Amino acid sequence: MPEIERKFLVTALPDGLGEGDAIDQGYLAIAPDGVETRIRRRAGAATLTVKSGPAMIRVEEEIPLEAARFDALWPLTEGRRLEKVRHLIPLEHGLTAELDVYGGVLAGLLTAEIEFPSEAAARDFSPPPWLGEEVTGDATYANQNLATLTAAPGRRPG
Amino acid sequence: MPEIERKFLVTALPDGLGEGDAIDQGYLAIAPDGVETRIRRRAGAATLTVKSGPAMIRVEEEIPLEAARFDALWPLTEGRRLEKVRHLIPLEHGLTAELDVYGGVLAGLLTAEIEFPSEAAARDFSPPPWLGEEVTGDATYANQNLATLTAAPGRRPG
């Protein structure tokens, strides 16, 4: 079943944020048809994920990675990396926002993604005031593309 | 330690070849700097391999893959695949040739690769008569490139 998600820029950090999880994410390679292979370390656990391109039937396989393998592969992602801190924020109706605070060259970029159980729920969603412009489907904010930028995208929150 | 290898086209199949191992190999993605991620099934066992590009300190990580994951990922390699049958052929001085008989659109292409324990051994190697033109370091015959061809390279054995 395809995931139903909406993505927003974030105008201001909501109150009461905890420390969040630091995520180091790097792309090993991205094919012209959008197939991507990336490695990620979050809260000490490493994974290698393969995702299909947008035009294909969605495939996503997440493979656990030993720490030593992650360390061996990380240098191969040079120039294709993201640093971010992820906060999980409970919303009404049992929804959760994944708020990503980007670091490094993307410092200043804040995005939030919300996954919905149905298209109706996605349509009826009323964004809380800290969510700004919607960027659902905007390739600029796809992590695969953000990873190769040298600065945060020009369009700023608000 | 870098591998010391020489690669040759094959003019004729040596006598007494067994059945060999059928190999299905597909590339998930190849980065502009040569980092590649590929999956391979050989004799029923599947792996995902990440290799660094030629200009980098060589990194190669081979990760075992469950059959179900291989099957899920295989469609993502469409247009970036190799079919071949690999034969291991004992040579003098304890060396072994990996003879690859390509199939599919590359039918007619035969290559052999030999790994040496030292540069001296590589230099002193006398190729048996069934080995033809040497293509060591020739990017045309890198598997990464062969996988996207629609026919065997023009230069034919012999």
Average pLDDT over residues A15-34: 93
Examine the residue annotation and report whether B27 is marked as an active-site residue of this protein: yes
Residue A72 in contact with partner chain B when CB distance is under 8 A: yes
Task: Give the pLDDT score at B44.
Answer: 86
Residue A67 in contact with partner chain B when CB distance is under 8 A: no
B16 versus B124: the higher-pLDDT residue is B124
Q: CA nearest B65 in A: which residue?
A: A63
Question: What are A129-146's pLDDT values in tens digits?
Answer: 999 999 998 989 988 899
Give dist(CA A110, CA B96) in Å, integer.
55
User: Model ipTM?
Assistant: 0.82
Q: Which of A61, A76, A79 is opposite residue B50, by nearest beta carbon?
A: A76
Number of Cβ within a 10 Å radius of residue A128: 13
Q: CA nearest A74 in B: which residue?
A: B59
Residue among B6, B7, B10, B27 flagged as catalytic: B27
**pLDDT confidence tier of residue A152, bands split at 50, 70 and 90:** confident
Give dist(CA A131, CA A24) in Å, integer.
24
Q: Are B75 and A65 a contacting pair at CB < 8 A?
A: no
Average pLDDT over residues B95-112: 95
A112 versus B137: the higher-pLDDT residue is A112
Residue B4 in contact with partner chain A when CB distance is under 8 A: no
Residue A145 sits at φ, ψ, to 5 deg, of -85, -40
A:B CB pairs within 8 Å:
72
Q: Which residues make Cβ contacts (< 8 Å) with residue A77, sequence separation at least 6?
A: A26, A27, A28, A38, A39
Give one DSSP letter per residue of A12-37, joined into a string. Answer: SPPTT----EEEEEEEEEE-TTS-EE
Task: Give the pLDDT score at B100.
Answer: 97
Residue A48 in contact with partner chain B when CB distance is under 8 A: yes
Percent of chain B with pLDDT over 70: 94
Q: Are A59 and B50 a contacting pair at CB < 8 A?
A: no
Q: Are A65 and B69 a contacting pair at CB < 8 A?
A: no
Residue A147 in contact with partner chain B when CB distance is under 8 A: no
B151 versus A76: the higher-pLDDT residue is A76
Give dist(CA A138, CA A109) in Å, integer.
15
Q: Which of B31, B56, B76 is opposite residue A50, by nearest beta carbon?
A: B76
Chain A partners of B65 at a C-beta cutoff of 8 Å? 63
Q: Are A80 and B48 a contacting pair at CB < 8 A?
A: no
Residue among A6, A7, A26, A27 flagged as catalytic: A27
Question: What are A42-76's pLDDT values in tens digits?
Answer: 988 999 999 998 766 789 999 999 999 999 999 99
Q: CA nearest A79 in B: which residue?
A: B33
A57 versus B42: the higher-pLDDT residue is B42
Average pLDDT over residues B44-51: 96
Return the structure tokens found at B78. 């469409």
pLDDT at B101 over 70: yes
